[in-house]
Amino acid sequence: MQNELLDFVGDIYEASYKPGHWEVVMEKLCQLTGSKSSVLIIENQKSGNRQIISIYGISRILAVAYNAGLGRYDNTFSLIRTRINDVTILPSQELKQNNPSYYQFILKPADIGHISVVDLHKDSDIRIGMAVHRSLNAPGYSNNETNILRLISPHICRAVLIQRELGNARSEARNMMSLVSKIPMGMLLVGQDGTVKFCNSVAQHVLGRHKGLSLAEDKLQAHSRESQKQLDSALQDVLDALHHRSESAAAVRTVSFSHPHASFPLVLFISSVQEPGSHFTVSDEERCARVYISDPGGQMNISAAQIANVFALTNAEAQVTLCLVNGLKLADIAEHNGTALETVRSQMKAVFNKLGVNTQQDVIRIIIQTMIPLSGSPE
């Protein structure tokens, strides 16, 4: 029996990262406890909604009905009289007396007469419960069978919580990649060997239309040899700052790429994915440079009006901010707007105050991190 339980624990933790394996777990649970069916349920503590994680030996139709709303009438949790990860045995007569409707529409059609139930986990967000069942005419559960439930319950609880955390992490990763793809500025992740590991749609659009920089064989390639040296040097500086984890090492580089057929130079803001000074060790394979790419001559997916509304800026301040994000220097902005350089500087100082920052790079960072997600794609 001990070897069987050890093998079973292995199956339980396999289900934590392979949700389809829960069916195997629930079937083996029935075999070990001499049960006809089993169920694993999670309850949302705020809404009271209950969902079946996995079942064995119960009609799928009943499971669908349970998840569709019938589960709210399941008062099994309220009948539990034991502490977390201990077993409460509920005979059929007690179930029938406490909730005749649930007994009539769920338990009796499923031929469930005896239930051994375990309250696996309970916090402010969720409650997890597990139960095994025997037929109406079957004998009740023995001490040996309930002890098996006590032994394996903590493992099932941990596996469900691990699965939940893995699911949350996957969801966050999908959401993050979705958001990154919608950043209204080109964004790339460049590895230690110069390989581009990620390139959002805006970056693809800019690199496809501007002659100063292109993407060839998954690497950034500048128009001229001199520009390529500047790009390689900037990327290396940023990655070295991450490697040495030095607060004094520059973590941000700005590089521009001109081309005879382009009205404006292409502007790149390069920073490390991990903040310098972090105490976590990062291997060469994991080191990445984050590259924001802007084409001042192209169309951005954000407008000055949107920036003004979000950050409570005046129209003039928002125009200056948008030009800055597009890669223009203050002198270029003054010339573009037909105003004095001191006026632009005054407007930029007002933007600093309203955003609570001290540098132009901080303004750019806040704008591109905040103005997402936006609808639309580059023209």
| Digit-coded pLDDT (tens) for 198-209 | 888 778 878 888
- Would you state the pLDDT for residue 280? 39
For 100-124, the DSSP string reads HHHIIIIITTTT--EEEEEEEEE-S
Check residue 12 and give its pLDDT: 92
Query: What's the pLDDT score for residue 132?
Result: 93
Contact 267, 298 (CB under 8 A): no
Short-list 180, 182, 184, 190, CA closest to 291: 190
Helix or strand (DSSP H, E) at 153:
helix 143-181
pLDDT at residue number 66:
80
Angstrom CA distances, 301 to 44, 107, 257, 297, 330, stand at 39, 57, 21, 13, 22
Q: Report H helices in 34-125.
A: 60-68, 76-79, 92-98, 100-102
pLDDT at 348: 94
Maximum distance among all Cα pairs of the chain, rounded to whole angstroms: 93
CB distance 308 to 318 below 8 Å: yes
Q: Would you state the pLDDT for residue 369?
A: 62
pLDDT of residue 286: 60
What is the structure's pLDDT at 285? 54
Please report the pLDDT score of residue 282 as a whole number: 45
Q: Which residues are within 8 A (CB) of 199 and not within 5 positions of it... i.e. 6 or more apart? A: 186, 187, 188, 207, 215
The pLDDT of residue 113: 80
pLDDT of the residue at 320:
92
Tokens of 96: 């029938």
The pair of structure tokens assigned to 136 is 């109406």
pLDDT at 276: 41
Look at residue 262 in the predicted model and tell me its pLDDT: 73
Element (H, E) at 271: strand 266-272
Q: Which residues of the chain have pLDDT under 70?
A: 1, 169-185, 242-251, 263, 273-286, 295-301, 368-379
Q: How far apart are CA 163 and CA 171, in angstroms?
A: 12
**Is the distance from CB of 83 to CB of 59 less than 8 angstroms?**
no
pLDDT at position 296: 63
